Amino acid sequence: MNRNIGFFVVAVLVLPSWSWSADSLARSARVVIGPDQLVIGEKLASAGQYLDCAKSSVQHTIRKCTLKPAWIQASSSVGLRIEKATLNIHFQDDVINMAVEYAAGFDAVFSAYKAALPGTPKITYWADDGHLYASYIWIAGNTEVEITKTVKGSAGDGKTRVYVASISVERPLSPEDAL
């Protein structure tokens, strides 16, 4: 076997799990709506038909959108039914980030993400005056996935939300917003 090919095969086999591509992480955390999908860092394409997007009279670079209520029943992510999805869409139609809310509790959602995403999440703790939180975070390439659990204090509304974001930089400003 060619020494370079052998090295490449060994290098691929021993790569740590965090080296998975952003595309892989983003695709694993996608929202599926019937035959279409919303994937962080990718164009909306035909999935735009499922969104209600607010128009802004001030800026045109980012559109704030929600999944239309009529499509909630046909939507899922990591194999779980979702209750709500809120997205930010760049004016060039890239999905920048989304918050996905689930009907299932934290343990079921966390287990589904652990099974669907590569590697082990990093854990960070943070607090406010009445709570202690644990955030479980996966990062690969230009994609970040975060799910937070209330460790101490009131669980608020009890909903489980997962945040999926593109962390790529230097997206252009809309020409309509240029100074």
pLDDT of amino acid 178: 86
Query: What residues in the chain have per-residue pLDDT under 50?
Result: 1-22
Model confidence pTM above 0.75: yes
Give the C-alpha distances (Å, rounded to integers) separating 64 from 55, 67, 88, 145, 156.
Answer: 8, 11, 5, 19, 24
CB of 135 within 8 A of CB of 128? no
The set of residues, in sequence order, having a beta carbon less than 8 Å from that of 164 and lying 6+ positions away, is 26, 29, 40, 97, 98, 100, 143, 144, 145, 146
pLDDT value at residue 17: 35
Q: What's the burial of 26, exposed, middle or buried (CB within 10 Å: 0-12/13-18/19+)?
A: buried
Quote the pLDDT of residue 155.
87
* pLDDT given at position 114: 96
User: For residues 164 and 143, is the Cβ–Cβ distance under 8 A?
Assistant: yes
Torsion (CA) 31, 120, 168, 162 in degrees, nearest 10: 40
Q: What pLDDT sits at residue 117? A: 95
